[in-house]
Chains A and B, each alone.
Chain A
Amino acid sequence: MPFSESIFATRFQITKPDLEQYLSEALSQGGDYADLYFEYLLTSSMSLDESMVKSATQGVSMGVGVRVIAGERTGYAYSDDLAPEKIKKAARVAAYIAAGPGKPGKYGLNEGKQHNLYPVITAPIETEFAERVELVKRADRAARAYDSRVFQVQATYADNLRHVMVATSEGVLTLDRQPLARMGVMVLARQGDGPPQRGYAGGGGRVELDFFLKDKTPEHFAAEAAREAVIMLDAVEAPAGEMTVVLGPGWPGILLHEAVGHGLEADFNRKKVSAFSGRIGQKVASELCTVIDDGTINSRRGSLNVDDEGHPTQRNVLIENGILRGYLQDKLSSTLLHSQSTGSGRRESYAHIPMPRMTNTFMLAGQSDPEEIIRSVPKGLYCANFGGGQVDITSGNFVFSASESYLIEGGKLGRPVRNASLIGNGPEALKYVSMVGNDLRLDEGVGVCGKEGQSVPVGVGIPTIKIDRMTVGGTA
């Protein structure tokens, strides 16, 4: 989109000379670099509970963040008012970090080429409410119809449309229009007067509303959530201790996000506080493992045409055949490490300082037939689905919580087991990967990653893999 057609030019009457002036103000006390991040965000959400649409909300927020980098120092200020005097004031506050002669001047702002990964003509948020609210109603009906033991259904649908503009003192000017939509279904089931069990499914992406009408329908998510809740009614105690663990394809890729992804973010490595610091070129996984972070996959939740520093996203190889290849870099870390940005600078909003983050993180498919992987395990645990995870960057310890898993006995799937966390150590865990399936699948689009108080949408993916040794936190 050309600058002159952007909402910032048409609605807020911002001109290129204005941007130059704000950047000048930001560098008025010196500093090496400055950037402006303009954001105009529309959101809407609706939720259903007890077969009633109990809430519907929409909102608008806008603002600009001004950043000044001077050596290793960052100054940051923002304004939720786009009036010129407010932006200039924010620029002067951000400039406080630098102490030197000013660097006013011309930055020659130019719009560069960028990806077009989500050519969404009509964003879901631009469609009729009546059309979108049908999605949660359909999910409710489908979940209740799935099984008579289903007794509670909550369905939510949320979308947003984020207009962003980044202008930097290096002359980069980028604009992007980022649509995002997600629906989720939570189901409770119970047998007679027995205790309830829960199931959850959800998904979405940078898609048009058609995605939920044709591709992944409310009925799909509802059936998936109901199936999980009903299966859990038969769950037995989870085992405890070290054992062979097989992860199913898709969302279990959260293992990669926690075990290696965060540890490879360049800020932690620049500061040498990550368990992966100084390990480039070393073996950190079995040779069957190649792990990628790719922000350029069409329509995915974690994809971006440009990152939040105006740099195009790219496909980054993190681990290649078991060898650690690279870190995820943003502007600040790549400058200090004399490296290049990998298009990984992201932020939650204009009120936040960008930092290196993941986009879509997954492991490449291997050769093994998934059924053969399960057949090869005499005794172990098969994890089909997970809740969230967390990592301690410095020690490398990570956990993730299995929400649907089964005992494996004699090469066959046995009874489902109750929720349990799995724990491992980042640079060690993937060394025990002994089989990788040919069934790589990306998750359906629900991931939210939190780091230092900032949340951003991400994706994960993995084929079926076998890990010979991992600690399972059950009670049996």
Chain B
Amino acid sequence: MSENHLLELAADVVKRARAAGATDSECTISEGDEFSANVRMREIESLKEAGSRGAGLRILIGKRTGSSYTSDLSNEGIEHMVKSAIALAAITTEDPHAGLPEAEEMGSLAGDLQLYCPDVEQLETAQKIDRAKRAEAAALDFDTRIDNSDGASFDSHIGRHIFANSRGFAGEYRSSYCSLAVSPVARQGESMERDYWYTMARSGAGLEPPEQVGRIAAERTLRRLNAVKVETKKVPVVFEPRVARSLLDSIFEAVHGMSIYRHESFLAGKLGERVAGENVTVIDDATIPGLFGTSPFDDEGVPSRRTVVIERGVLKNYLLNCYAARKLGLKTTGNGARGLAGNAGIGHGNLFLEKGVQTPEQIVGSVADGLYVTELLGHGVNIVTGDYSRGAFGMWIRNGELAFAVSEVTIAGNLKDMLTGIDAIGSDLEFRGSVAAPTLRIGEMTVGGK
């Protein structure tokens, strides 16, 4: 289907909803092609290729809402979708805060955000398989202790996203994405460990060389061998960037507008207060060209923007959609997010913690006795209370050196204390996804072990 056709279809759905009795409506259409090649032990394991699309509708009748979606874009399918959404408005409650963005709030960023690169579509299947094979081979050939593999994969996705509403917004954008990942398995005696490394980009050319990805995956896996469980004690904990990112995920949940108005976050009501050390600045920026959290407009038709969440330790902004903004008496930050259907939720753009000046080596070197965390396990973060307790893998730091591998331990604390306890920030910020953080040191956490 041509691009114009889908944009016209979205506008038509909005019109049909109005004709069916909706006072306002919003239509999302998405279309995508996915490809995935898996290689294991130097042989192709699986190939997957397909395209799909779907449409979603949310309507308002006064202050009541209803929504629906369909993968059937035929005339009959669309008709059914419109009827379904209208019917549901009868069972929802009038909500004084429900509604679409104001006219002056809507819009789209101009200029090329570099979300789509044609080279992803042009890559031949054989080339994609070859990159996965080379990456895995680099890991398998790196060291004899790497005698097995959970495989390497090359994934790509081309998508088109369309949004239109009854207040006159209509916009669309294309995106592309590809990634290469390797997961080697290393063995020595009784010890068997797996780790992984990956690269992702909006363009095929933007991917890191397969050999480099394979080598890093191998090094990461090898250093986990012969891990031991340590004694339970309170020590400094250093998060490498891959796991430091998860702290940003927690900050996102804690500044999520819906959680704020429900008092479901330990940061609710803390706007303008100091919530972290003066060294900590957290930014959500959906306008950076080529990155994974970038878009011209959010899922309510509000232009994307840069929002300072925490500035030098002070909580400056929550992340909001129109609904949460109205509930809190604030303005949307352009963070509306949704799948095909339903009320808009809240998502982030490129969410990151600003880099510091120390190298990761300097940060590790500053710790006499502590844990360097390389992987976290489980979901033990309670955003209501800030209680934090997760499984961890990593290396023990002794006198500033990574001394030996550690596993089967927990790290625990409370996010409130962890944010104020960040006492060293690395210079190694890089984006491998829409959330990023450099190496971070937290002054003290409880490591649970023997």
Q: Beta-carbon contacts of B336-379 to A below 8 Å, as 1s and 0s? A: 00001111000000000000000000000000000000010111
Q: Is the CB of B148 within 8 A of A399?
A: no
For residues 89 through 126 of chain B, which have their beta carbon under 8 Å from a beta carbon of chain A? 89-95, 98, 125
Residue A401 CB within 8 A of the other chain: yes
Known: A130-B91, A471-B449, A472-B448. A395 touches B49 (CB 8 A): no
Which of B125, B377, B414 makes the CB contact (< 8 A) with A392?
B377
A72 to B93, CA, bound (A): 54
Q: Is the CB of B391 within 8 A of A423?
A: yes
Q: Beta-carbon contacts of A47-59 to B below 8 Å, as 1s and 0s? A: 0011111111111
Q: Beta-carbon contacts of A415-452 to B below 8 Å, as 1s and 0s? A: 00011110111000000000000000000000000000
Q: Is the CB of A421 within 8 A of B84?
A: no
Nearest CB in chain A to that of B70: its residue: A60
Within the complex, the shortest CB–CB distance from B405 to chain A, in Å, comes to 10
For residues 379 through 405 of chain B, which have their beta carbon under 8 Å from a beta carbon of chain A? 379-380, 382, 384-385, 387, 389-391, 393
Residue B236 CB within 8 A of the other chain: no
Task: Chain A residues near B81: list those with CB within 8 A.
Answer: 59
Which of A46, A79, A152 makes the CB contact (< 8 A) with B91?
A46
Q: Is the CB of A401 within 8 A of B46?
A: no
Task: Chain B residues near A169: list those with CB within 8 A.
Answer: none
Majority SS at the chain A contact face: strand
Known: A196-B263, A240-B232, A471-B229. A394 touches B384 (CB 8 A): no
Q: Is the CB of A473 within 8 A of B412?
A: yes
Q: Is the CB of A97 within 8 A of B194?
A: no
Q: Is the CB of A399 within 8 A of B390?
A: yes
Task: Chain B residues near A90: list those with CB within 8 A.
Answer: 50
Within the complex, the shortest CB–CB distance from A76 to chain B, in Å, comes to 4
Nearest CB in chain B to that of A394: its residue: B194
Q: Is the CB of B192 within 8 A of A473?
A: no
Number of interface residues of B (CB under 8 A): 79
A58 to B84, CA, bound (A): 7
Residue B5 CB within 8 A of the other chain: no
Q: Is the CB of B50 within 8 A of A395?
A: no
Within the complex, the shortest CB–CB distance from B404 to chain A, in Å, comes to 15
Q: Is the CB of B150 within 8 A of A78?
A: no
Residue A454 CB within 8 A of the other chain: no
Q: Is the CB of B340 within 8 A of A59?
A: yes
Q: Is the CB of A63 within 8 A of B378?
A: no
Nearest CB in chain B to that of A268: its residue: B150
Task: Chain B residues near A275: list those with CB within 8 A.
Answer: 192
Task: Chain A residues near B409: list those with CB within 8 A.
Answer: 423, 471, 473
Q: Is the CB of A473 within 8 A of B390?
A: yes
A72 to B185, CA, bound (A): 19
Q: Beta-carbon contacts of B194-227 to A below 8 Å, as 1s and 0s? A: 1000000000000000000000000000001001
A392 to B408, CA, bound (A): 10
Residue B68 CB within 8 A of the other chain: yes
Q: Beta-carbon contacts of A97-140 to B below 8 Å, as 1s and 0s? A: 10000000000000000000000000000000110010000000
A46 to B72, CA, bound (A): 22
Q: Is the CB of B185 within 8 A of A394?
A: yes
For residues 49 through 72 of chain B, which have their beta carbon under 8 Å from a beta carbon of chain A? 49-50, 52-54, 56, 65-72
Binding site for B on A (CB under 8 A): 46, 49-63, 72-80, 90, 93, 96-97, 129-130, 133, 151-152, 154, 188, 190, 195-198, 238, 240-242, 271-273, 275, 351, 353, 387-395, 397-401, 418-421, 423-425, 471-475
With contacts A55-B343, A75-B47, A78-B52 known, what are 5 further pairs, Cβ within 8 A? Answer: A73-B45, A240-B446, A387-B379, A418-B387, A421-B412
Binding site for A on B (CB under 8 A): 40, 43-50, 52-54, 56, 65-72, 77, 80-81, 84, 87-95, 98, 125, 148, 150, 185, 192-194, 224, 227, 229, 232, 262-264, 266, 340-343, 375, 377-380, 382, 384-385, 387, 389-391, 393, 407-414, 446, 448-450
List, sorted by A's number, 22 A–B pairs whose CB atoms are closer than 8 Å: A55-B65, A55-B92, A57-B88, A62-B72, A73-B46, A80-B71, A93-B49, A129-B87, A152-B263, A238-B412, A272-B148, A273-B148, A392-B375, A394-B192, A395-B192, A395-B393, A399-B378, A421-B391, A425-B408, A471-B408, A473-B409, A474-B389
